Structure formats: C-alpha cells, structure tokens
Structure 1
Amino acid sequence: MSVVDGGWTESTLEVQGHQVFYRISADVPGAWPIVHVHGFAISGTYLMPTARLLAARATNVVPDLPGYGRSEDWDYTLGIPALAVAVLDILDAFDFEKVVLVGNSMGCPVSLEVAHAAPDRVDRIVLVSPAGGVHNQGLGRAVRQLAIDGARENRRMARVAVPDYLRFGPVNTFHLFSELTRFPSLERLLKVKVPTLAVIGSRDPLMAPPARVREVGRLAGDHTTVALIEGAAHAMNFSHPGELAHVISSWLDGVEIVDDPDQPGFTRVLQLPRE
C-alpha cells in the first residue's frame, strides 16, 4: 500500500482471482463509506476531484473496475451484472456493511444493478450523467455523442481519458457498448427503492432529451431526486467537482439543494411530475 497526497492511499485487492487497483481516503467513523463507480472504457482517475472533496464527510473508495485502468485484465469483457458482482466483492473485501454509491456514466447502471442484487448493502445511490439505453443507440450515434462531448469537456480530461480508452481497446468497447445500450436501467431505477439522486448536465450530449427526463420523473417514485447543473457536460465529476460535491453533500445531509455561488455551473432541482 502506498500513501499519496491528502491522506489517500493506493493498493490492490483480489477479486475472483484478479488484482483490482483502488484508492481510499482516510477513515471517517460514523458515516457510510462512499464508493465511486467509473464510466465506460475509463479508469477511476477522473472521479478523484469529486472524491477528494467528499473525503471529509466519509471514507471514499475509488476502484478501477476489473479490466480497467490499473486493475488486472480479464480474459473477457465483464458485462454490467458481472461488474456489479465485482463491486459487491470489493465491498466484502473492505468489510463494508453498507455504502453510498456514486456512479458516473456506465457506473450508473452498475450501481443500480448492485442495489437491485443487494439492496441491504446500499444506503443511497447517486447517478451522475447516466448513460445507456435507446438515446445512445446505435454505435455510430454514440460515437458522435462522445465526439461532441469531448469538445465540451475540460481539456485536461483528455490526458486522463485517452490512455484509458486505448488500453481498454476496440474489441472490449464494442462488446460492452452493446450490453450498455440494452441494459434495463429504467426498469432498475423504477424497481429499486433505495433513495436515489440523479445529477445531469445541461451540456451533456449523451443525456436523453428533456421530454424523456420528464417522463422518467413521472414514472419514478418519491425516492428519486433530479438535479441539473447548468454548463456541465458528461464527466462533471472531473469538470465540476465543487458543484457536484456540494449537490451530493446537500442531498446526503437532507438539506435543500441550492446553487453554490463559489463554484462553476449553476444548480437547480428539477420539479418533475409524479404518477
């Protein structure tokens, strides 16, 4: 285990016979740990700006899922359910009874699957820029959306993302993308009764159109809150960490989510109709 800045440490643990790399902040007693779940074809590195800001309130863990980043490669591409099982194995390795999951992009359906499979292990879920489903089908459309998003992200994001994408490779990308777009994320969201916060960005080209967001809000139960950060694109964990951490902290504390004037972006909670 190596010590890095700000009390964070880095090490590996074994998941189903493979080494999984992780970053963990200092222990904070009395609060459920926060586990961050990264997106498609990328490691957990880009989640660190937000995780660092949340480290004062709880122990934060940022793993590279099996086959991603600095974790050991597998012989095949793990799908969403298999990645969810891996997350549960990580919780077991840390002996975490219950956690708060903060997923970004593909990390959102993975988090929903964890809560579906083991709802007693999840205190709350934060879905940041959820991805997958009809709006991201087919492959050509998704590539165009990613290209648009790349132009809207913080330029420093490329230094993090490009090496991860190249390491993940086109074969893994094709296999996992197909499953991601077919995964029943909406069904999981509607059936899982774990308190859920969805945070979306106004400049995220992978996000469904407003009418679809309103429809999901109508179908979702009162346990679901949707917040919008104006000016944020898809990887807001990296580009807008201050505003995102403020939104998450407010929601976890049960206080009104309002904009933090000292952070980039403008936050408002969407008032969505219910069934």
Structure 2
Amino acid sequence: MSGLYKRHWPGDPDRPALALHCMMASGSYWGPIAAALGGAVDLQGFDMPGHGRSDDWLPADGDPDYHTAVTRLAASFIERPLDLIGHSIGATIALRIAVAAPEAVRSLTLIEPVLFAAAPDAAQDALDAQMQAALDAGDDLAAAQAFLSVWGSQGVSALPASAQAVVARQIRLVADTGPTLRHDRANTLRDGRLEAIDAPVLLISGQDSPPVIGAIADALAARLPDVGRAQVPGAGHMLPITHPEQVAGLIAVNLDRA
C-alpha cells in the first residue's frame, strides 16, 4: 500500500531482522529494544495501516482481510533469511509467515501471540461478545474501552480526546482480525505446519498477562520442534513498552541460539 511508514534501526548488515507491533500502537516502541540490542541486528519495522504514521486502511472490494494484508506487507520486507520478532497480533503475523515460509526465518521470537484458536478461552469469548455488542450499537469508544481494559496498559478514560478518537477508529481493525485469531482462518495451526518450523523459537510472556496467554504458549510450545519459554516478572501484555530492556535481553538470547 502507499502511505506505509517504515522504520529502521541500523545494525549488523549481515543480520537482518523485522519487528511487528501490536494493535493500537506503532512500530516506534521497538526503538528502545533496538537500542538495547546494541546493533546486533539490522532491525526494520513499519506502522501497520491505520496505526502510527501510516495511512488509514481503506480496503476496496476484493481486497484481503486486515490480518492477511498486514502479513503480505511484512513478507515484502523479507529478501533473505532473517530474525523475525512479533508482539501480540504482530506475533501471530510472524508465526503465519514462519509456517508459510520456514526457510525465510532464521529465528522467531513471539511475544504474547494472541492466536486464540490455539487455546479457546471463555473470558476472551466474553470480551469479544462485549466488544461486538458495543460495535453493533455504534459505540466504538466503548468497544475500545472493553478491549484496552484487558489488552492495553491504560484505560480509554486516561487518554486525551485526540487519542480516544484514534482508538475508536482502530477498534474496527481489531474486530476484523477476529476470524483469523479466534478461528484460525489462516490455517496456521493445521497439522504439520508448526512442526515444520526448524528455526529456534522463543515464546515470551508477561507474568501478569491474562491466563489465556499462557495457555496459547503451552499449545504452541507442545508442537514446535525447537522452542524456549520465558516470562518477565511484573509485566503485562504491553511488556515491550513497559519492560524493553528485559525483552531485549530475551530476544538477544534467541538471536544467539540461531
């Protein structure tokens, strides 16, 4: 798409890497992590459509769903095997790329992947229903409040009016990812796909994250051939922002494994 804002933190030119951010944020939060990595990788990223400095996502008839569109954008950055890092929805996109083209991934770091199809959860079902009811009623801000009450670092009421308007727009993008994340429309979990990833994988979670995160990590780890697990004490879902140095240290461990 035009109007995609790209980010680059220069490092070792022989070690390309790509980092994918979560919903309702931007690629800017990889900056402190890149700094903590000290140039170990040549890190690229981008602001997903409708986020940060990128243009809004305005699909035409026949265009793919949001998750597929962002996956294709991410894949366009890959010219040779690289270290792939993702957080939340970014982690599900990274995993989707890895199962589709395992030869393109040198290492895979998944921070709180929200692939709910791997571990169906009643609390997440209830949250999705609450969000959908608000969207059906035309109250996008209430839907965003419901989402951020679980998956954000602060509530909507704490945000300035301009930021509230942004999250109210973005919540429709969150809803668009539902079929992929809850029902695995991308077939990421199909038999044999996770098992075909031969790169070292690290699953990182926050100690204080919703329980479904641990269940998802359990389900993925049981099928990945070369996998490590790590938990950041005192951290929640937004740990790349709240605990960048700890997250960078764990990423570095997985880089070394590759």
- TM-score, normalised by the number of residues in structure 1: 0.70
Which of 82, 104, 122 aligns to 1:99? It is 82
Rounded Cα–Cα distance in structure 2 between residues aligned with 1:103 and 1:162: 24
Tell me the SS of whatever aligns to 1:137.
helix
Rounded Cα–Cα distance in structure 1 between residues aligned with 2:200 and 2:89: 19
Deviation at 1:102, TM superposition (A): 0.8
| Residue of structure 1 equivalent to 2:137 | none
Rounded Cα–Cα distance in structure 1 between residues aligned with 2:205 and 2:231: 5
- Checking the alignment, whether the CA contact within 8 Å between 1:68 and 1:168 is kept in structure 2 is no
Distance 1:67 1:169, change over 3 A: closer
After superposing on structure 2, the runs of 4+ consecutive aligned residues of structure 1 that deviate more than 6 Å are none
Structure number with greater CO (CA < 8 Å, separation at least 6) is: 2
Which of 146, 149, 153 aligns to 1:147? It is 149
| Residue of structure 1 equivalent to 2:177 | 176
Rounded Cα–Cα distance in structure 1 between residues aligned with 2:204 and 2:40: 20
Deviates further, 44-53 or 114-123: 44-53
| Residue of structure 1 equivalent to 2:223 | 220
Tell me the SS of whatever aligns to 2:29.
helix
Q: Which one-letter code corresponds to 2:98 in the other structure?
A: A
- Checking the alignment, whether the CA contact within 8 Å between 2:66 and 2:173 is kept in structure 1 is no
2:180 pairs with 1:196: no
Deviation at 1:87, TM superposition (A): 0.7
Distance 1:173 1:247, change over 3 A: closer
Distance 1:27 1:47, change over 3 A: closer
Q: Which one-letter code corresponds to 1:208 in the other structure?
A: V
| Residue of structure 1 equivalent to 2:53 | 70
Structure in which a larger fraction of residues adopt strand? 1
Structure in which a larger fraction of residues adopt helix? 2
Rounded Cα–Cα distance in structure 1 between residues aligned with 2:129 and 2:32: 31
Distance 1:189 1:47, change over 3 A: farther
| Residue of structure 1 equivalent to 2:75 | 88
Deviation at 1:68, TM superposition (A): 2.5
Q: Deviations over 1:38-77 (max 9, x none)?
A: 1123321233222322242111112112333211223228
Deviation at 1:165, TM superposition (A): 4.5
Distance 1:84 1:66, change over 3 A: same
Aligned-residue sequence identity (percent) comes to: 23
Q: Deviations over 1:199-226 (max 9, x none)?
A: 0111012x42756644543x22341111
- Checking the alignment, whether the CA contact within 8 Å between 1:29 and 1:58 is kept in structure 2 is yes
Which of 29, 37, 46 aligns to 1:54? It is 37
Q: What is the aligned residue count?
A: 229
| Residue of structure 1 equivalent to 2:102 | 119
Q: Deviations over 1:86-118 (max 9, x none)?
A: 111133xxxx31211110000111001111222
2:13 pairs with 1:25: no
- Checking the alignment, whether the CA contact within 8 Å between 1:102 and 1:125 is kept in structure 2 is yes
Which of 237, 241, 256 aligns to 2:240? It is 237
